[in-house]
Structure 1
Amino acid sequence: MQREQDAIIAALAPVIDGIVATLGSFCEVVVHDFRRPESSVVAIAGSVTGRSVGGAMSEIGMGILARGDQAGDELNYVTRTQDGKLVKSSTMVLRDSTGTVFGALCVNLDITAVTQAHALIGELAGLAAPAPVPTTTFGDDIDSVVAAIVDAYQLEQHRPWAELGREERLELFRSLDERGVFAVRRAVPQVAARLGISRASAYNYLSQARIDTSQEHQA
């Protein structure tokens, strides 16, 4: 199936240029190859997230990767880049004729200016402020994406690793695994360094988290 998957990706390259030419400078279209998660960006047109060919997938891509062939399209979601841009996106999975998910086509629209105008009109009209938007890490370096996911989880707990109990630590590794973090090469050492623990400890926590998850599914 590799030849078929390669052909699908090759066929999309001219398509993404046409989409950006139609929608304009606020649009970016990216083709991801999940067979190479550390550098999944194989084609890109436009510039919204600042990535280039050879760049990394975001947290959203990792989540799709983790769901494998059960993954579905993620349509019309809004995130915020680390430099403050508001981006409206749709991520559509790529499947071969057997149904295997092997990549994704992502359309990103920079809606920062539109949102600012909407907020101003809403303020003048006395409407409630819009709900906060989650930040997504877009970059060419997969390590920065992994680090951002780990940091975000710790912020959610309002406590550093040293203050977490064993079950909370296992839950952290379960959550990272479910988000597709450990599908990336070197992710375990990267997570260990971010948490300030040994690689051996990180591998042990991951192994135990997967055992617990497997037992829950069998129960």
Structure 2
Amino acid sequence: MTGEDPRKAERDAILRALAPVVDGIAATFGPVCEVVLHDYRRPERSVVAVAGTVTGRTVGGAMSEIGMRVLAHGDTADDELNYVTRTGTGKLVKSSTMVLRDSTGAVFGALCVNVDITEVDRVRGLLDALAGAAGPPADPPVTTFGDDIDSVVDALLDARLRRQDQTWAGLDRTRRLALFRGLDEQGVFAVRRAIEQVAARLGISRASAYSYLAQARATTGTDDAPEGAHP
């Protein structure tokens, strides 16, 4: 008879120990702060604890595209600290994503802190105008936060197509491979059934999507398929 996997038990214990920290950090910084604890072993419902309402996350919700990026980097992922992004509703958010590792160094989750700095930015703009400072700062990228993983995958795909300024039908083979390579590098295909979702959005067969993904990986020397990217 075999016992519980010690790595699973260790990771579960780390998440349980951090759950009270989520509430403590959010309470310290008040209503402009949100803290989210993620278990990346289940990308489609990675949120295991949350305090605050900056991005509207709830327990059982999916990871954002930032979490997908961590998944794509695997155990080489680094903390991402003090980056600024914008939500789909227009909130300006300063965030930090701190990866969680077990005793072997394997990444399995993250503790994320999001602070709504919308009003701070508005006041700064007013002060800059009064001081005669030059031009507005660069607009930060929009990040999709939501409890539905499908909406996150859709947003990443739409952003890629907009960046290439083309529909799928208008892309040549090189750009089609670049599209799949970019999505793979963002961790999209680590999400279960993402390949089917992408294929449906592009109007191509599942087999064609797998073929493009395999070719894209072959050109970058990526042989290991992320979880969920198998036929």
TM-score by length of 1: 0.96
User: More displaced, 122-131 or 80-89?
Assistant: 122-131
Distance 1:205 1:18 in 2: 46
Counterparts of 1:142-153 in structure 2, within 5 Å, are 142-153=149-160
Matched position secondary structure for 1:42: strand
Residue in structure 2 matched with residue 72 of structure 1 by the alignment:
78
CA distance in 1, matches of 2:45, 2:118: 27
The answer to whether residue 188 in structure 2 is matched with residue 177 in structure 1 is no
Shift in Å, 1:101 = 0.3
Deviation of 1:215 after TM superposition, in Å, equals 7.4
1:58 corresponding residue in structure 2: 64
Aligned match of 2:100: 94
Identity of aligned residues (%): 69
Q: Are 1:105 and 2:111 counterparts?
A: yes
RMSD of aligned Cα (Å) = 1.2
Partner of 1:139: 146
Corresponding pairs, count: 216
SS at match of 1:56: coil
Q: State which of 42, 46, 50 in structure 2 corresponds to 1:44.
A: 50
Matching of residue 196 in structure 1 with residue 203 in structure 2 = yes
1:13 equivalenced with 2:14 (yes/no) = no
Amino acid at match of 1:187: A
Q: Distance in 1 between matches of 2:130 and 2:198?
A: 46
Instruction: Work out which of the residue numbers 164, 167, 177 in structure 2 matches 1:157.
Output: 164
Amino acid aligned to 1:164: L
d(CA) in 2 for partners of 1:215, 1:94 = 25
Partner of 2:228: none
Cα displacement (A) at 1:213: 1.5
- Partner amino acid, structure 1, of 2:174: E
Q: After superposition, what is the alpha-carbon deviation per residue over 1:3-23, rounded to whole angstroms, capped at 9, x for unaligned?
A: 000000000111110111111
Rounded Cα–Cα distance in structure 2 between residues aligned with 1:61 and 1:166: 29
Higher mean alpha-carbon deviation, 118-127 vs 42-51, is at 118-127
In the TM superposition, residue 51 of structure 1 has moved relative to its aligned partner by 1.1
- Given the two structures, how large is their TM-score scaled by the length of structure 2? 0.91
SS across alignment from 2:37: strand
For residues 195 and 58 of structure 1, the distance between their equivalents in structure 2, rounded to whole angstroms, comes to: 21
For structure 2, the 5+ residue unaligned runs are: 1-6, 224-231
Aligned-partner Cα distance in 2 for 1:111–1:166: 42
Q: CA deviation at 1:158?
A: 1.1
Correspondence for 1:166:
173
Deviation at 1:113, TM superposition (A): 0.6
One-letter code aligned to 1:71:
A
Shift of 1:196: 2.0
